[in-house]
Structure 1
Amino acid sequence: MQYIALLRGINVGGKRPVKMSVLKTAYEAAGFTNVQTYINSGNVLFEAPETGLTTLAATCDQIMVETFGFSVNIAVVTADQLIQAVADAPTWWGNMPDVKHNLIVAIAPKTGAELSVHVGAIKPAYEKVAVNGPFIFWSAPVKTFGRTRWSTVAKGDLYQWLTIRNANTARKLVALAQALREA
């Protein structure tokens, strides 16, 4: 089965450095197959026997501890989940210039709905949000980004339970997953 691990908080501002080539090798050494990484923000596509997502996240974190000496929160989703979520994304997400389009992914045990409730009601004049399972589609104009409810999430305890990818990265991960299937 094909999975995608989204590592939170690596290679940011020189903190928690992780070389993608080393990460790929570590995943292969752990027995995962068809391992592929994408950009330095910690995106790993891999295949493994069908396993619970919580178990896989724990295994992926153990790889981080053994290889890099630190633990990270990791969202693990099936490739099918991401492919379907992006296919079902709201029409306003990812297509307008001068707008930030992010895919926020809940890290278990949190859910997208829980995160959304915790952040509170959005400010419709400044942002759009749609929840689909562990995925939260969020768009906000660059000019008014700082006025949104979701822009404040990085300042609270909730931040550790999510990882963010922009629309381009989310779509590229979908394309890579689909290409691996066709190979």
Structure 2
Amino acid sequence: MMRYVALLRGINVNPGTTVAMADLRALLEKLGHTEVRTHLRSGNAVFASADERPEWIASLIEREITGELGLTVPVIVRTAAELRQVVEDNPLEVRDPARFAVMFLADTPDRALLEGIDPAAYAPEEMRVGRRELYTYFPEGLRRTRLQPLLAKRLNVTATARNWNTVTRLLALAEG
């Protein structure tokens, strides 16, 4: 059995995207996953599965959410080992874990497009490109960033962000 983390994008941000964590746990168990736990209300789940294909697991969860709950929710799945690598590969100093975020991407980003964004355009915010994630620091908070609109234009891939506190807590749950 492998341990996984599922990151759902855009749930519980308004009344039309409400997903109870009990429903998410039940849905994952229905798909055959075990040791299912959720963290916060923002769509984070940790579970074990015999399946070794994270992208396949993500698509099954997406289909089940659509079928059971009538919502279209992008899902990104990482193994516990991949999440450990994300934490270990962090290239930026975590000055404030609530303002430091990892943007998880469904696919490998086009590095040339991302590196073509002038850092002066979003200073004092910071960004570094990882394997399938972006490490970001928002000293003025995550609500109104200059970087997010630039990424939305350039990033042609499904993405969802989690602050550093959530990333490290999910890692602890996945490895625990």
Q: TM-score range by the shorter chain?
A: 0.7 to 0.9
* Aligned residues with identical type, % of pairs: 29
Q: After the TM superposition, list the runs of 4 or more consecutive aligned residues in structure 1 that deviate by more than 6 angstroms.
A: none
Aligned-pair distance for 1:87?
2.1
Structure 1 partner of 2:26: 25
1:114 corresponds in structure 2 to 110
Superimposed CA distance per residue, residues 68-105 of structure 1 (whole angstroms, 9 cap, x where no aligned partner)? 1122111111111111211221241x3338x8211101
Aligned residues: 173
Contact 1:36 1:45 in 2 (8 A): yes
Is the partner of 1:142 in helix, strand or coil? Answer: coil
1:172 corresponds to which letter in structure 2? R
Q: CA deviation at 1:32?
A: 0.4
Q: TM-score, normalised by structure 1?
A: 0.82
Equivalents in 2 of 1:19, 1:147: separation in Å?
A: 28
Q: Is residue 2:167 matched to residue 1:166?
A: no
Which of the pair has the greater relative contact order for Cα pairs under 8 Å at 6+ separation? 2
Q: In the TM superposition, what is the alpha-carbon distance from 1:158 to its structure 2 partner?
A: 4.1
Q: Which region of structure 1 is more displaced relative to structure 2, 113-122 or 159-168?
A: 113-122
Structure 2 stretches lacking a partner, 5+ long: none
State the SS of the aligned residue for 2:45.
strand
Distance 1:25 1:157, change over 3 A: farther
In structure 1, the residue matched to 2:95 is 95
CA contact (8 A) 1:101 1:167 kept: yes
Counterpart AA for 2:40: I
Q: Within 2, Cα distance between the matches of 1:133 and 1:76?
A: 14
Is the 1:106–1:115 Cα contact (8 Å) retained in structure 2? no
Which amino acid in structure 2 is aligned with residue 142 of structure 1? E
Please name the residue that 1:128 is paired with: 126
Q: Which has the higher helix share?
A: 1
Alignment of 1:22-101 (within 5 A): 22-92=23-93, 94-96=94-96, 100-101=99-100
Give the TM-score, by structure 2 length. Answer: 0.84
Residues 150-161 of structure 1 mapped to structure 2, 5 A cutoff: 150-153=147-150, 156=153, 158=155, 161=158
- The CA distance in 1 between the partners of 2:130 and 2:142, in whole Å, is 24
Can you give the 5+ residue segments of structure 1 that lack an aligned partner in the other structure?
Answer: none
After superposition, the Cα gap between the structure-2 partners of 1:137 and 1:26, relative to the gap in structure 1 and judged at 3 Å, is same
